[in-house]
Structure 1
Amino acid sequence: MSNKGPLSVYKGLPRGIYIIFISRIIDNMGSVVMPMITLILTQKIGLQKDITGILATVFMVTQAPFLLLGGRLVDRMGSKKVIVLFNTLGALAYIPCGFMKPSIGMALLIALAANLFAVAAPAYNSIVIELVGEDKIKSAYSILFLGYNLGLAIGPAIGGMLFNKYLQALFFIDAITCLISVVLVYFYVPDNSLKKKTGSAFKLNESALRLIFKSPMLIVFSILLLGYNFCYSQWGFMLPLQSASLFLENGAKYYSILVSVNAVCVILFTPILTHLTQKFRPLSVVTIGGLFYMLSFLIFAEGKILFIFIVSAAIMTIGQILININVNIYIAQQVPQAYIGRANSVLSIVNGAGVAVGPVIMGYVLLRISYETAWFIVAGLMLLGSLGMFALNARRYHFLKANNH
């Protein structure tokens, strides 16, 4: 019986995947600087909120070319080398901050580190393709998503405890844990990039955007995914504002409870949902995940007590798990191995664009309508996105069926 439980989906993976799982936990347990960036800019450096908002947007925008660079380097050098090199450089950029007083110079070094980490970001998705076969790809993405969130469940809490009195220590913690994770990858994860790319039509000069534009299905998928992330961004923007408006002085505390519920549900539900959806096509699962998002947004619209918000947060987390794992699988199925790094860099930009644009647009909308109406709008957009994914999935199914005859 135990062999058929939810955790059985993680059996039989290559050792390299387990090592990356551990390294992601360690790295994100020490990820204590970026969650505190807004407070560092305002409370420590002393910037006004409007300037902080502009800088936060600039930080995100400047990461786009670094993500594209990372995708190209993954396809040229292999994922392992990119992870080791640029995570090391990012960690080293944090170390001088540990000796500095809060200043614009500190902010610039944080931005530099974030851009260096952005170069490595596409490699974490691409390395899965290099290490596992198609039959294990969903399990591999699932365990790495689990490891990422296990670390994040701890890291921000550490940052919050140390922020007021020991700001400089945060930079050393982040750098050291990142370097430990790099050492694990360097010594214990094999480099299979050349083996996987041998014999492929390997065109290093082709851009990621040109690759996307060659495939109408990838264009539609990218647009729909942008909408998904626009709607998801309201979890971190509209929900805390609504919580403060509804629960007044308890708003921040209650929202932090919802964040904890999200983290716990990711840990508990990821193996179960991976087990249950093992045989499903990726876009079918992404469609279902979108419907879970929509349902949670409708509940947020009508919520008046904390318990209802907790239930809705759990429902939203189910959608989050289903979507995050299966989006990566769809990209892996659609894109030739030689282009996977560049494709993942575009995926990262699309995700970031949705999250960046969502608060800007809905912040403007909330000046004119209630939270309830705003959530209904977001839920409606989510339904449209889910229907789009359903149609795209049906088209791909008929295309594959026609090619098999």
Structure 2
Amino acid sequence: MPVWVLVIARAVNRLGAFTLPFLGIVLTVELGASLAEAGFVVTLFGLATIPSRLLGGHLADRLGPKRTIVVGLVGCAVAQLWIALAGSLWSAVVAVVLLGLVFEIYEPPSQAVIADVTEPAARPAAYGLLGAAVAAGAVLAGILAAALSHGSLRWLFVADAVTCLACALLIAVALPRASTSLRQDGSRGGSGWRDRRLLLMLAAGTAFATLYMQLMVGLPLTLLDRDLPASAVGIVLAVSALTLIAAQPLQRAARVRDLDDFQAMAIGYLLLGIGLLGNGFATTLPGFLACTVIWSLGDLLLFSRTYTIVAALAPDKSRGRYMATYGLSWGIATTVAPVLGTQLLAAAGPTTLWTLCALVAFGLAGLQPALRLRLNPLTLRPSELGG
């Protein structure tokens, strides 16, 4: 039951998360910011999301996941309403920074709850289901954004605030209080920064996140380079989301379920690499869609198994902070990937970009046996469990 509550709440929350692409437009058109000023404000938002994840992990282990999730969602609603009502650029800047600081609080506690309430064998399917909820919400969010964007763009932020509050209410009412990794004696768990295994996962996760972000940054530019219409970008992203949803039963198939995490990760990276390599040579929309199905299946395995491994590495009372530390891989990738991708595209073209990305994915697949030896928590001494 707690997993389904989180899945439904995540879908509702993701349904409203369509405002960020319109933030720069609101800043420039409605609040008079220059393009440079708008870019700076959006950068501030991105930087603020990094401590946001750490705060979410810390609060999850001190207050409990349920309270932390509600705090983060209510904070997002307040910041979104502030942006919608802002009468000056400086007021909007403060609201955008606040939004960044609370934006990722939700993630570590929700991931920790799944680990708390599921058996290890069931975690890949549970994390995969959470990913499918995000994908489903993203598809519907695009439709909702298209409908609301015909009026004042500030209504988008009001709608996002409403979905955040609806999500917070659902968590407050339906998520059992017992779903918490809070220590009963109030003491702190282990520190993820002192666990070398977690840092190794952070390094590997950053490489994966950087590859994934290339799909968000480099793939749209590649489609345009191949003279495909801008609408092709939306079609590709929709097919990816639908693949993640439709392929969920694979997580429960016996052959996939019986794979250990590192075997599944190796297969995931191979699929990801094949799809990325295909991006470099595809010239038609059907070709790109075939590649999209392949790399999306790889993502399905990778998203579910990486969080399963991190949950297994974490001491029971430190899962929030472990998830938060691992989640920094996405903040790093979001900062690095756009620069790397655009520079490679400009200097060498799409074929080189995607060939190099594929080689990195194949290399990560080959590293999985070594990672198993270093990370498998069942082979480690209790003294190595962080803290």
Secondary structure of the corresponding residue to residue 367 of structure 1: helix
Match of 2:119 in 1: 133
Match of 1:325 in 2: 304
- Sort the Cα spacing of 1:70 and 1:368 in 2 relative to 1 into closer, same or farther, 3 A: same
* 8 A contact 1:232–1:355 mirrored in 2: no
Secondary structure of the corresponding residue to residue 57 of structure 2: helix
- Sort the Cα spacing of 1:368 and 1:256 in 2 relative to 1 into closer, same or farther, 3 A: same
Deviates more, 1:147-156 or 1:73-82: 147-156
Matches within 5 A, 1:279-298: 279-298=258-277
Match of 2:231 in 1: 253
- Sort the Cα spacing of 1:185 and 1:373 in 2 relative to 1 into closer, same or farther, 3 A: same
Q: Among residues 219, 239, 249, which one is paired with 2:199 in the alignment? A: 219
Q: TM-score, normalised by structure 2?
A: 0.90
Cα shift readout 1:168-206 (whole Å, capped 9, x = no counterpart) = 221221111111111111111112256774589x535x6
Q: In structure 2, what residue type is equivalent to 1:209?
A: W
Structure 1 position 397, deviation (Å): 5.7
1:110 partnered with 2:96: yes
Cα distance in 2 for partners of 1:145, 1:35 equals 21
Cα RMSD, aligned residues only:
2.6
Percent identity reads 22
Match of 2:385 in 1: none
Matches within 5 A, 1:339-350: 339-350=318-329
Cα distance in 1 for partners of 2:362, 2:141 equals 33
Cα distance in 2 for partners of 1:164, 1:298 equals 38
- Sort the Cα spacing of 1:316 and 1:39 in 2 relative to 1 into closer, same or farther, 3 A: farther
- Sort the Cα spacing of 1:243 and 1:51 in 2 relative to 1 into closer, same or farther, 3 A: farther
Matches within 5 A, 1:3-402: 15-45=1-31, 47-100=33-86, 103-192=89-178, 197-198=183-184, 202-203=187-188, 207-210=191-194, 214-215=195-196, 217-247=197-227, 250=229, 252-275=230-253, 276-396=255-375, 400=379
Cα distance in 1 for partners of 2:192, 2:181 equals 22
Q: Which runs of 5+ in 2 are unaligned?
A: 383-387
Cα shift readout 1:282-310 (whole Å, capped 9, x = no counterpart) = 22212211111110111011111111000
* 8 A contact 1:224–1:389 mirrored in 2: no
Q: In structure 2, what residue type is equivalent to 1:23?
A: A
Q: In structure 2, what residue type is equivalent to 1:92?
A: V
Aligned length: 381
Cα distance in 2 for partners of 1:398, 1:131 equals 19
Structure 1 position 75, deviation (Å): 0.6
* 8 A contact 1:226–1:350 mirrored in 2: yes
Cα distance in 1 for partners of 2:35, 2:294 equals 33
Q: In structure 1, what residue type is equivalent to 2:162?
A: I
Cα distance in 1 for partners of 2:178, 2:279 equals 45
Cα distance in 2 for partners of 1:55, 1:62 equals 11
